[in-house]
Structure 1
Amino acid sequence: MGRPSLAEERREQILRAAAQSVARYGLAGSTQERIAAAAGMSRSHIRHYVGNRDELIDALWDHVITPYFEATHAALTGLAPDAQLRALVDFLFGPQMARNEDDLVIEALISGAMHDVRLRGRIYDSYSRLEREIAKTIREAVPGCESAESLQLAYALICMAFGHSTLAPLPFPASRPAGLKVLAMQMIEALRADRAGQAAGR
């Protein structure tokens, strides 16, 4: 297998430098000059290997969010529907979602999206795709579950998981995240029982 191309190496180097810069200085403070200096390159290298600022931000978003989505997919691959749902909850509230520097980048980009319609749409596309994938997992494991309610529960699970990740650096007792995971499963089981009851009543 051949080595990655120089362009791929340079692009990865730039994105790592951009992530470090955004984590430290925020999105507004991460100029192309600052990122170029951190990467040991010139601003023209940034434009050559990644593109303009919007293209750099898009690439940075993919750089930090894609590993989470890939890990979520990997955690569910090859499992039966009910086992997939349990594995999903284990993943969302497990050590895989532990706080790291990429979370600072994700939060900075989401904050930047408040004033950037283009970036907001980009981020929304990613999270809505995740919401749909989680909703699909729910529907496959809960017979009779409709699309709207699976999406609502998927959104709730995403909010709970990312809220938990945001508060993770604070010294809450270990029972808090454990209780959150139990609550997530209770929500799923309540939906399952409701759908089973409806099916029995027909």
Structure 2
Amino acid sequence: MGRPSLAGERRGQILRAAAQSVARYGLAGTTQERIAAAAGMSRSHIRHYMGNHDELIDALWDHVITPYFEAMHAALNGHAPQERLPALVDFLFGPQMARNEDDLVIEALISGAMHDLRLRGRIYDSYSRLEREIARTVREAVPGCESAESLQIAYALICLAFGHSTLAPLPFPPSRQAGMKALAVQMLEALRPGEGRAAR
């Protein structure tokens, strides 16, 4: 019986090293030499397991963004449609979105995408998917909510949550987070059937 492939283990090791390098040196300062040194491998190993530079960066983006999608799905699973909106707000403004080293990687990749059309498209695909998933959650919880409106709400929620996360290292008082969460709740409550909605 042959030995099990080490490719998955090696890829994980390389991606962790790449994330550390991008967090420390930025995207432009992250070289294959630095990734190889951090991973304890040669440059040829990096290329063997990860492919070319673009393939490595794509895999790194998936490595840092996928856990957020998985955590959001876990936060919403098991809830009835009407209960998913409070669960969504709790997720977007809760400890799962607290800043960590992955945020440095995500921000470096987004910054790098300003000069890389291919990477920009890759990142846009992820955030567009997030927007669609949140919009679908809104429509399922609020019958009669139109697609365009749900997408606008989804985009606003993403901007509120990610903007807050980006500013979290600054010494704003804790009331700012509570204020952003309350604003998100108000925005969603305005979608509920009632006099305010009927009058539009």
TM-score range for the pair, normalised by the shorter chain length? over 0.9
Structure 1 pair 194–148 and aligned structure 2 pair: CA distance change class (3 A)? farther
Distance across 2 between alignment mates of 1:160 and 1:47: 38
Partner of 1:93: 93
Moved over 2 A (4+): 193-198
Partner of 2:54: 54
The answer on 1:116 being equivalent to 2:116 is: yes
Distance across 2 between alignment mates of 1:4 and 1:24: 33
Aligned length: 197
**CA distances 1:42-69 after superposition (whole Å, capped 9, x unpaired):** 1110110011000000000000000011
**CA distances 1:77-102 after superposition (whole Å, capped 9, x unpaired):** 01101111110000000111000000
SS of residue in 2 equivalent to 1:33 = helix
Distance across 2 between alignment mates of 1:102 and 1:155: 22
Give aligned-pair identity as a percent.
85
TM (normalized to structure 2)? 0.95
Structure 1 pair 110–197 and aligned structure 2 pair: CA distance change class (3 A)? closer
Gaps of 5+ in 1: none
Distance across 2 between alignment mates of 1:102 and 1:194: 41
User: For the aligned residues, what is the CA RMSD?
Assistant: 1.5
- Assess if the C-alpha contact under 8 Å between 2:191 and 2:197 holds in 1: no
Q: Which amino acid aligns with 1:157?
A: L
Distance across 2 between alignment mates of 1:192 and 1:4: 54
Question: By how many angstroms is 1:179 displaced?
Answer: 1.0
- Assess if the C-alpha contact under 8 Å between 2:139 and 2:147 holds in 1: yes
Q: Which amino acid aligns with 1:113?
A: A
Question: By how many angstroms is 1:194 displaced?
Answer: 5.9
- Assess if the C-alpha contact under 8 Å between 1:13 and 1:39 holds in 2: yes
Partner of 1:17: 17
TM (normalized to structure 1)? 0.94
Q: Which amino acid aligns with 2:85?
A: L
Structure 1 pair 4–79 and aligned structure 2 pair: CA distance change class (3 A)? farther
Distance across 1 between alignment mates of 2:148 and 2:5: 45
5 Å-filtered alignment, 1:25-174, equals 25-174=25-174
Question: By how many angstroms is 1:169 displaced?
Answer: 1.1
Q: Which amino acid aligns with 1:40?
A: G
Gaps of 5+ in 2: none
Question: By how many angstroms is 1:197 displaced?
Answer: 4.1
Distance across 2 between alignment mates of 1:5 and 1:92: 37
Question: By how many angstroms is 1:34 displaced?
Answer: 1.0
The answer on 1:187 being equivalent to 2:195 is: no
Distance across 1 between alignment mates of 2:70 and 2:123: 16
